[in-house]
Amino acid sequence: MSVVVRTIARIIVPMILAFGGYVIMHGHLTPGGGFQGGAVVASAVALIVVVFGAERLKRRKTLLSLLEDLGAIAFIALAFLGIGVTFFRNVLAGGGGLFGVPVPPGPNPGFLDTGGTLPLMNWAVGLKVIAGLGSVVVLFGLFGGKDDR
């Protein structure tokens, strides 16, 4: 791709990553969440594939599949955290520790440090979707064969 496209992609990719991270991180407060944010980040991967070619990312395939596995395992492990009471029990919510601040009743701007295991699960799903969709995009790029890049 031409130098204009490459330069703009270099500027835009960090922004997409930041926005995707924001959507994942605020999944328990605003519309969105792990899947949606993961898809946003994967669109950055798609941009990289289109602009710089899939060959650049070929070596990262193993890393991506490993991350995808880890995301799924993390999700199930978080669900297992609650097994002392019931599976999927939100044991961190309101406990005062990580993401454990109790939510004050009534309208509020949204507090990030709440939600217990929910934000963590959003991150696990996000990781899985980033890696999963990302590797799908990379594979499509690789199967495309030689083109004008």
Partner 1 sequence: MTIGIHVPILAIAVPLLGAFALPIFAKVHRNLRDLWAILVAAFTCAMVVALAVQVFTSGIQLYTLGAASPTATVVQGGFPIRIVLVVDGMSAFMGLITALVGLASLMYAFQFLKEEQGKTLAMTLFFLLWAGMLGMEYTGDMFNFVFLEVTSIAACALVGYRTWESRPPEAAFKAMAMYTVGGLLVLLAVGILYGEYGALNIAYLSSKISGTPLDKVALGLLLGGLLMKAGTVPAHMWAPDAYGEAPAQAAIVLVANTQASLYGLFRVLFTLYGGALSTPAVGWLVTALGTLTLLVAALMAVIQTDLGRLIAYGAVSQIGYMLLGVGVGLTVISSRPDFGLVAMKGGIFHMMNDAATVGLLFLAAGVVKRACGTKDLRALGGLGHDLKWTSGFFFLGALALAGIPPLNGFASKFLIYESSFRLSPILTAIAVLGSILLLAVFVRAFQGVFLGPRLRTVQPAPLGMLIAMGVLAAIILAFGLVPDFFVRHMVTPAAEALWRGRDLYLAAVLGG
User: Interaction with partner 1 in 90-129: which residues (CB under 8 A)?
Assistant: 90
**Token pair belonging to 138:** 């990379």
Answer yes or no whether residue 63 interacts with partner 1 by CB under 8 A.
no
Query: What's the min distance (Å) between Cβ of 98 and partner 1?
Result: 18
Answer yes or no whether residue 85 interacts with partner 1 by CB under 8 A.
yes
Window contacting partner 1 (CB under 8 A); options: 11-19, 20-28, 74-82, 99-107: 74-82
**Token pair belonging to 139:** 């594979």
Q: Please give the distance of CA 77 from its chain centroid, rounded to a whole number.
A: 17
Query: Which residues lie below 8 Å from residue 92, measured CB to CB, with a gap of 6+?
Result: 81, 98, 99, 100, 116, 117, 120
Answer yes or no whether residue 76 interacts with partner 1 by CB under 8 A.
yes
Query: What's the min distance (Å) between Cβ of 86 and partner 1?
Result: 5
Backbone torsion region of residue 111, taken as left when φ is above 0, otherwise alpha when ψ lies between -120 and 50, otherwise beta: beta
Window contacting partner 1 (CB under 8 A); options: 4-12, 26-34, 73-81, 102-110: 73-81
